[in-house]
Amino acid sequence: MRFNKSPKYKRRRRIFFLVVLGILALNTFFLVKAIKNYTSSKSKKKEPITANKKLSTKKAPSKDKKSNILLSFAGDCTLGTDTSFGFQNSMPAIFQQHGNDPSYFFKNVKSIFESDDASIVNLETTFTNSNVKTPKKFNFKGDSRYAKSLTLGNIDAVNISNNHIYDYGTKGFEDTKNTLKQNKIPYFGEGNKYIKEIKGIQIGFLGYTGFDSSNSKLNSIKNDINYLKNDKKCDLVIINFHWGSEGTYHPIETQKTLAHFSIDKGADLIIGHHPHVVQGLEKYKNKIIAYSLGNFCFGGNFNPKDKDTYIFQINYSFNNKSLESQKIKIIPCKISSTNNINNYCPTPQQNGEKTRILNKVNSLSTKLPNKLSNDFINIDVKK
């Protein structure tokens, strides 16, 4: 028997097939999407690099990481005066003559300190309003505005271990540290340590008065070096010593003992000051000892007989934190820009005076037991 399929029946059958096809299409869509998500999650675990990072265009990192670090050091900076001195020709008088401008003092050496990675000086004064002096021959203090001259002169940190930091007792000492903090000037010495990272290299700075080589002093030095080298992982440890005999051009035995001991225990560079005159340089176990840099910006004497000084520079070359080489340079200076008086403005020397000061330092160095070899020192007398 044949059924007569009416138009209504045919229309229902078409709708039925369309619904079935729609359901199949949706199932297929969700199945494909699930497979893609599964595949994508697998690929992410294996390859974490996304298209946005574009790391495939970068070059492979170099195995060698080389860095050169240039450090500068200068001697005694007595930014102040003794109140028993006359006002005429004193540092406060010259400061007043130049409009109370703190940029005056280091203006002639600023460009040198600008071009290095760190500049360090010995701060041999107090910044305090106290009038209670420690009983002694000379007591130095300066206006707190003088501290600004350090930052304006591009000096990065100061040593405070010397024989004048307690000229106004504990109050003067604390006032000085507070003034340095207010001016964001790091300091070290008198139990304070300073660590500065330069180009990935950690450098630790220590400061001491070195008028004796007692067991107590030696133990402190040894422990401080160990702390910086081992606990703080410093790549270099540099020590400032305030030591020696005033007016003496040759280091005394205490200086040599402290310097050699410090290097034996791991110090990498020794910088000295206090004698008010320059002394020679020595190489000991391939490390440099600069026994005295002399005065620099020195308010302690309005006209010292010997105005010679120098900026000591050392350039360290590292490869992956391993020290490859070191070269030193001396920049001859005088503590004043004029010869007849001290105007408290240290100035680099040229021509004959430059050569004379270089020869003077070289001559003093040759009298030391461990002489610098020509390939170790880089002193340019031509410029």
Q: What are the tens digits of pLDDT across the range 18-36?
A: 655 666 665 666 655 555 5
- Residues in Cβ contact with 289 at an 8 Å cutoff, skipping those fewer than 6 apart: 259, 263, 270, 272, 281, 282, 283
Supply 195's token pair: 């660590």
Q: In angstroms, rounded to a whole number, what is the distance separating the alpha carbons of residues 78 and 124?
A: 5
pLDDT band at 58 (very low <50, low <70, confident <90, very high): very low
Rounded mean pLDDT of 50-71? Answer: 61
Q: CA angle, corner 364, sides to 360 and 366, nearest 5? A: 120
Structure tokens at 206: 């220590």
CB of 158 within 8 A of CB of 119? Answer: no
pLDDT in tens, 131-182: 999 999 999 999 999 999 999 999 999 999 999 999 999 999 999 999 999 9
The token pair at 226 is 């160990």
What pLDDT, in 10s, does the model give residues 90-117? 999 999 999 999 999 999 999 999 999 9
Spell out the domain ranges in the chain: 66-366
Q: What angle do CA 323, 325, 326 make, to 5 degrees?
A: 110
CATH architecture group of domain 66-366:
4-Layer Sandwich (3.60)
Cα 324 to chain centroid distance, Å, stands at 19
Q: SS3 for 119?
A: strand
SS3 state of residue 164? coil
The answer to whether the pTM exceeds 0.75 is yes
pLDDT of residue 183: 98
pLDDT of residue 32: 54
Lowest average pLDDT, out of 38-42, 241-245, 304-308, goes to: 38-42
pLDDT score, position 147: 97
Residue 291: what pLDDT?
98
Angle of helix 215-226 relative to helix 253-264, nearest 10 degrees, comes to: 30
Report the DSSP beta bridge partners of residue 283.
Answer: 288
Q: Under a CB-based contact definition with an 8 Å cutoff, are residues 160 and 123 in contact?
A: yes
State residue 7's pLDDT score. 58
Q: How far apart are CA 381 and CA 360, in angstroms?
A: 12
pLDDT digit string (tens) for 114-143? 999 999 999 999 999 999 999 999 999 999
pLDDT band at 371 (very low <50, low <70, confident <90, very high): confident
Q: Check residue 370 and give its pLDDT.
A: 81
3-state secondary structure of 129: coil
Contacts of residue 380, Cβ cutoff 8 Å, sequence gap at least 6: 329
196: confidence class by pLDDT, cuts 50, 70, 90: very high
Beta strands 66-78 and 295-298, pairing class: parallel
